Amino acid sequence: MLSRTVEKDGLAIIPGMFRAEEISSVLEHLRGAQLRRSRAGIRHLMSDAGVAMLANDPRLLGIASDVLGSDAFPFRATLFDKSPDANWLVTWHQDTALPLRTRKEAPGWGPWSVKEGISYAHAPTHALDQVVALRLHLDASTEQNGPLRVLAGTHKLGVLTDDEVYGLAAEQPALDCLADPGAVLAMRPLLIHSSSKSQIEAPRRVLHIEYASSMSIGDGLELAVA
């Protein structure tokens, strides 16, 4: 069962969720859309109608709802676009920052920042446990093009310090998450992960969509749609 795999390992790969023609359509839309790009890709994609429609596809909502155990909705979408022109290394880390409607000081939240007009705060474990990310592979993710690497099961350890993350990375073998175009990878944000630089010319584009079961994320704070 998908939810059991994610609960145990912090991730699961579902192959063949989207057909080749659907992936081509997504890539064509992203190429033609007037979106603000950074070197690594595009953030805050829920503002794009095409991406928002894709994020609400019943297949993705079904996966997110299964993992979260209740109805799910997408609140943030990001395109990661690793290519020969934008080739980067991501060190071992957890995803702990969430977009929020308003800034409110609360225990366990922070530090705060603002990205393109949206407030962000690093969140405590109880909030991050209410989130799952679905990564739709728009290209093949191979051993050569800087795939996602994870330390399975580490999502159960809560929010860790950088030293704790690096210590675990030095001790625990990593898993390379290899997938074909159209595959979806479900992962918990607290799963320790990284990626290396690509060693080949082929691109590695991933649409990373985050879901929660409620806008209220706890401590009087509400998620922002980003």
Task: Convert the pLDDT of each residue in 131-153 to its tens digit.
Answer: 999 999 999 999 988 899 999 99
Mean pLDDT, residues 73-79 taken together: 97
Q: What is the pLDDT of residue 5?
A: 97
**What is the 3-state secondary structure of 15-70?**
CCCCCHHHHHHHHHHHHHCCCCCECCEECCHHHCHHHHHHHCCHHHHHHHHHHHCC
* Total tally of structural domains belonging to the chain: 1
Query: How large is the average pLDDT for residues 205-210?
Result: 97
Alpha helix stretches (DSSP H) within 133-189: 162-171
> Which of 42-46, 88-92, 191-195, 221-225 is the least confident region?
88-92
Note down the domain range covering 38.
2-222
- Average pLDDT (11-38) is 91
CATH number for the domain including 17? 2.60.120.620
**CA-closest candidate to residue 11, choices 88, 73, 94:** 94
For residues 29 and 134, what is the distance between their CA atoms, to the nearest angstrom?
19
Sheet containing strand 118-122, edge to edge, reads: 97-100, 118-122, 112-115
- Percent of the chain at pLDDT > 70 equals 96
Rounded Cα–Cα distance for residues 85 and 203 (Å): 9
Residue 85 has pLDDT above 70, yes or no: no
CB contact at 8 A, 203 and 82: yes
Chain mean position to CA 65:
16
Bigger pLDDT: 34 or 121? 121
| CA-to-CA dists, residue 12 to 134, 136, 152, 178, 186, angstroms | 10, 12, 10, 11, 5
Considering the chain, what is the average pLDDT of its residues? 93
Segment 105-112 shows an average pLDDT of 96
Pick the more confident residue, 36 or 93: 93
Query: Which residue matches tokens 């109805």?
Result: 71
Full-model pTM: 0.95
8 A C-beta contact, residue 112 and residue 121: yes
Q: Given pLDDT bands bounded at 50, 70 and 90, which one contains residue 101?
A: very high
Asked whether the predicted pLDDT for residue 40 surpasses 70, the reply is: no
The two three-digit tokens of residue 99, written as one number? 């977009």
What count of other Cβ atoms lies within 10 Å of the Cβ of residue 52?
A: 15
110-118 average pLDDT score: 95
